[in-house]
Amino acid sequence: MPKVSDAYVEQRREQILDAALRCFSLQGLHRTTLDDICADVGLSKGAVYNYFKSKKEIVQALRDRSAADEEAPMSPLVEPGGLEGLRAVAREVFGRMDDRSERDARRVGAMLWSEALLDSEILRSQVDSTEAYRPKFDAAIVAAQEAGTLPSSIEPRALSVLILGAVIGVQLQHEWEPGIDVGAVGEAFDALLTASGNA
């Protein structure tokens, strides 16, 4: 490949990943071929190979990009800790589920959870992405317990697992049933956290 700037390389990689995301969302991970991705992005297979060695490498790059995109807006919200930090994360997550510009990413994310059952590399990546959140959730829960806004009898890791499970589960249900009122779901989740704090 001729010498090009890092910015150009990054732009091309993003174009290929965007094309792959569209193809995977429409056709699934297994039915999509490298030729499909090349046709969508308008590049030859040889050109795509300059940036990714295989379709599997593209899948992994999408997983990594998705994890970074998910964590970036969440971290500042949970940093203040306590019950309000958890509620802020819930409002952000459920509020974004109706954003149709993120639909392809959510659909492919659901596919990756399924694929993780069969592929140890994808499983590790999926688990790592959730582990990036859990210590922050754990800390927020402990802070809420210390402030008396959550019962001290709740095991922090168990509650953080429950929160992440609720988020992943609602995302999946929303793909099955796009008419689900995720705003109402977010309010219900917020109410449960508040009720736990008042118990």
- What CATH number corresponds to the domain at position 30? 1.10.10.60
Q: What pTM was estimated for this model as a whole?
A: 0.77
Chain position carrying tokens 């056709």: 27
Residue 49 shares a structural domain with residue 68: no
More confident residue, 131 or 104: 104
Residue 27 shares a structural domain with residue 84: no
> Residue 46, class by beta-carbon neighbours within 10 Å (0-12 exposed, 13-18 middle, 19+ buried)?
exposed
Question: For the CA atoms of the chain, what is the radius of gyration?
Answer: 19
pLDDT at 79 over 90: no
CATH code of the domain containing 150: 1.10.357.10
**CB neighbourhood size of 126 (10 A):** 21
Residue 115 shares a structural domain with residue 189: yes
pLDDT in tens, 99-115: 877 888 888 988 988 88
More confident residue, 182 or 52: 52
Q: What pLDDT score was predicted for residue 199?
A: 59
pLDDT at 132 over 80: no
Residue 37 shares a structural domain with residue 128: no
pLDDT at 28 over 90: yes
Question: Can you give the residue range of the structural domain that contains 181?
Answer: 59-198
Please state, in angstroms and rounded to a whole number, the distance separating the CA atoms of residues 5 and 48. Answer: 17
